[in-house]
C-alpha cells in the first residue's frame, strides 16, 4: 500500500470504530431503557470503542483491517450482551433494542448527507466527475485530490448506509430478524423466537445475507446517491 491508501485506510478505520460503537451503544441503551441492564452493566453504553473492542476483538480489529487490505473497504462486527429471559418476556422491547443499532447508523448517514448537501449549497463540494470507489462520493469544488474532509464524509455516508441496510435484513443473526417482531402479537413473537433459537439458522442466515446483499446494496447505493445529489446537476 502507498501512503495515500494507508491514510484512507486510517479514515476508514476511525469511521468504522465510531459507527460500530454507536450501533452497539444504541442497542445497549435501548435495552437498559426497556428493563435489561445486562449490556449497561457490561460497560457497553458508551461511545468509547475500547469496551466493544474487548468484547469482539476479531470483528472490531482484525476483520476490518483484513477486509480493507483485500477489498479496499471495511467490514466487521461487534455485539452487545442481553438477557435471553428478558427477550422472551418482552419481545417488542427486544425488537426495539434490535432496531436501535440500524437507527444509529442511519442517523450518522443522514448527518453526513446533510454536511455534504451543505457543502454543495455553499459551492465548497461537488459531485465526483467519475465514481472511483466508496471513499470518494464527494469532492472539493475545485476538483483537487480527495481531502480528509471529503473522504471522511464519503466513508461515513457509505459505511453507515451499508451497516444500516445490511443489519435490517430479516435473517438471523442480523437485527432485522428480531426487529420484525414489532409487527407480530407478542405471543406469536415468542413462538417465532423459540423456533429460531432451537434451530441452527444463524449460519444459514449469514450465508443468504452475504450472497444476496451485494445485489441489494448496489441498488440501494445508486438510489442513495440519486437522492443525495438530487437537484445539484
Higher pLDDT, 199 or 76: 76
What's the predicted TM-score (pTM) here? 0.92
pLDDT at 114 over 90: yes
Strands (E), the chain: 125-126, 139-140
Predicted local distance difference test score (pLDDT) of residue 132:
65
| Residues found in the chain | 233
Predicted local distance difference test score (pLDDT) of residue 200:
74
Mean pLDDT of 93-120: 96
Higher pLDDT, 75 or 19: 19
Mean pLDDT of 168-177: 91
Predicted local distance difference test score (pLDDT) of residue 178:
93
Predicted local distance difference test score (pLDDT) of residue 127:
85
Place of cell 449549497: 121
Report phi then psi at 196, rounded to 5. Answer: -70, -40
pLDDT at 67 over 80: yes
Cell of 38: 445486562
Predicted local distance difference test score (pLDDT) of residue 1:
62
Predicted local distance difference test score (pLDDT) of residue 46:
96
3-state class (DSSP) for residue 113:
helix
Predicted local distance difference test score (pLDDT) of residue 85:
93
Reported as a single tens digit per residue, the pLDDT across 176-215 is 999 999 999 999 999 998 888 776 777 777 788 878 887 8
Predicted local distance difference test score (pLDDT) of residue 204:
77
First to last CA, the chain: 35
Amino acid at each position: 500500500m502507498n501512503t495515500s491508501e494507508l491514510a484512507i485506510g486510517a479514515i476508514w478505520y476511525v469511521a468504522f470504530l465510531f459507527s460500530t460503537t454507536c450501533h452497539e451503544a444504541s442497542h445497549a441503551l435501548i435495552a437498559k431503557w426497556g428493563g435489561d441492564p445486562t449490556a449497561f452493566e457490561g460497560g457497553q453504553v458508551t461511545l468509547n470503542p475500547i469496551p466493544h473492542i474487548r468484547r469482539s476483538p476479531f470483528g472490531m480489529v482484525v476483520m476490518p483491517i483484513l477486509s480493507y487490505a483485500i477489498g479496499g473497504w471495511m467490514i466487521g462486527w461487534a455485539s452487545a450482551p442481553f438477557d435471553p429471559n428478558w427477550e422472551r418476556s418482552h419481545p417488542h422491547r427486544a425488537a426495539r433494542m434490535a432496531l436501535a443499532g440500524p437507527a444509529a447508523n442511519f442517523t450518522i448517514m443522514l448527518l453526513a448527507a446533510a454536511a455534504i448537501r451543505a457543502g454543495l449549497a455553499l459551492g465548497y463540494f461537488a459531485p465526483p466527475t467519475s465514481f472511483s470507489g466508496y471513499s470518494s462520493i464527494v469532492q472539493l469544488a475545485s476538483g483537487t485530490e480527495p481531502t480528509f474532509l471529503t473522504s471522511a464524509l464519503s466513508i461515513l455516508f457509505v459505511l453507515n448506509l451499508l451497516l444500516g441496510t445490511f443489519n435490517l435484513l430479516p435473517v438471523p443473526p442480523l437485527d432485522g430478524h428480531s426487529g420484525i417482531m414489532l409487527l407480530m402479537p407478542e405471543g406469536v413473537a415468542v413462538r417465532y423466537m423459540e423456533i429460531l433459537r432451537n434451530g441452527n439458522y444463524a449460519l444459514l442466515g449469514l450465508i443468504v445475507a452475504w450472497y444476496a446483499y451485494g445485489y441489494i446494496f448496489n441498488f440501494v447505493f445508486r438510489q442513495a446517491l440519486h437522492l443525495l445529489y438530487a437537484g445539484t446537476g
